A = this chain, B = another copy of it.
């Protein structure tokens, strides 16, 4: 059994689906046998680039194929819940594109269902599989940054405008998955303010604030209307600070030997704070396509009993924060408690 390839069906061959297909097709322990999409043009593209898989408009036909073991869902968010539910009920393992669902209740229902039918539910939070985020997690885990002070995320660009969800649901899941992984705990409360500039009324510029307690906060900027593209995450600790710039070709992570030094306050002055300026290290982190690592891990979970980095439970947490952010946004920045 451990030697048999995992037969995979990918549902949705739009923007992200082809990347999923390509990576499963390249994995020696997997085989892509179905590509489902309602759009005929996309099915033709699938046939041209992946002649080894059957291109089909029917998810039902695919679900009836007993050989299919894993269903990968890369469709609009609003369809995630129904497709994932049907696939689990058909006895398939499921990997769902982020965010898991459009509501917390749905996400929790999927996790419950997967447990009941004893199938695996994975969420495709791809960033968790980049060599850089893995490097950051190791840094934090080893205590190399000292006590965490704050996160600062900037994820802005021009477009891509979505029609069924706003910029927060579109872009923030990346940062939220990274922050939850690094903080090791969910935020206690959130604040979100934003604005919309189109007739759709969908928020296209937003500022997120997450309070993790113990003075650890995160500020995240997401924006569909920025003339420049930025992909920054700063993780600041008392001992060191890191800048993760995903747009750099090879020097994505910079480790700053910088921090603050709080010297004892005397009676008169409340505090004497100095700051320490040291070297910058740009570690050589061998490049690897995150999706290839993720595919490898999904297969290892199914074949070797490995523990998933991004299970359904993490997907629930991300959706829970997204929902709270949405509520704060509606109330023009009111702080929403998550407990």
Q: A residues near B, CB below 8 A?
A: 25-26, 48-49, 51-52, 149-150, 152, 154, 156, 158-159, 161, 163, 191, 193-202, 205, 207, 209, 211, 215, 217, 219, 221, 223, 225-228, 234, 236, 238, 241-243, 247, 249, 251, 254, 256-258, 260, 262, 265, 269-275, 277-284, 332-335
Contact = CB atoms under 8 A, between A and B. Distances in A.
Nearest to A261: B198
Given A197-B260, A199-B265, A205-B219, A280 B279 contact: no
10 contacts: A154-B154, A161-B260, A197-B260, A199-B265, A200-B271, A207-B219, A227-B254, A257-B284, A278-B284, A279-B284
B256 A227 contact: yes
Given A163-B269, A226-B241, 18 more contacts: A25-B48, A26-B49, A149-B197, A150-B205, A152-B221, A152-B226, A158-B258, A159-B275, A163-B272, A193-B209, A193-B217, A196-B215, A198-B260, A199-B262, A200-B273, A226-B234, A228-B234, A247-B249
Given A209-B193, A333-B191, A149 B225 contact: yes
A226 B21 CA distance: 37
Q: Which 5 A-B pairs have the closest CB atoms?
A: A200-B271, A227-B256, A227-B241, A280-B282, A161-B273
A275 B200 CA distance: 15
Nearest to A257: B284
Contacts of A161: 260, 273-275
A158 B247 CA distance: 21
Stoichiometry, copies per complex: 4
Nearest to A271: B200
Contacts of A202: 271
Given A209-B207, A275-B158, A215 B195 contact: yes
A234 to B, nearest CB: 6
Contacts of A269: 163
A207 B207 contact: yes
Contacts of A247: 249
A219 B273 CA distance: 27
Contact of A270 (B195, B199, B271): B199
A271 B163 contact: yes
